Amino acid sequence: MSLVKQRLNSVLGLAAIGAFSFWLPDMLLRALDRGYSGVAWWVPTLVLPTTFAAAYIFAARRAEERGFKHVGVAMFLGVWCAGGPFILFEWSLVGGPPLSGGFLNELIVVVMSVFPPITFFLSAYDGSLPGLLLLTVGAALFWGVRAGIARCSSR
């Protein structure tokens, strides 16, 4: 297997791990919320970044052993790019805001859902926006501190 193909497989695999580690717990919490109607707003805000962090710790060790250094970026892009389709699928299962305008409008929404700004808007309706923002700010701080430590230790 060529190096480019191996790297692409690593990026796609890590993006899938990032997306599933963040959005599957969201789907589970929404299903529980529908059944029990008692999940507070702060539960997904804390649970979703925590499950992502656990998956990152697990995936980072394995990927860095294989020489892949951008684990967090690939996983983070997976969360932002797959968020729209996950939220739309979740709404089809547990109910959500109806899409209007017929088949063509629904098709456009599904196709556009892979773009990160759409994930932002859909997560605001879904209730997972605070967790997504906490993950984004936390990841930026984590990678910034990590880069600063690496820069200081290389001097």
Tens of pLDDT, residues 64-96 = 888 888 888 999 999 999 999 999 888 888 777
Check residue 14 and give its pLDDT: 93
Query: Is residue 36 over pLDDT 70?
Result: no
Reference 69, options 10, 15, 29, 2; nearest CA is 10
Domain ranges of the chain: 3-153
Whole-number Å distance between alpha carbons of 92 and 95: 6
- Cβ–Cβ under 8 Å, residues 93 and 27: yes
Reference 85, options 39, 16, 8; nearest CA is 16
Whole-number Å distance between alpha carbons of 135 and 144: 14
What is the distance between the terminal CA atoms of the chain, rounded to a whole angstrom?
37
Query: pTM for the full model?
Result: 0.85
Average pLDDT of the residues in 99-118: 82
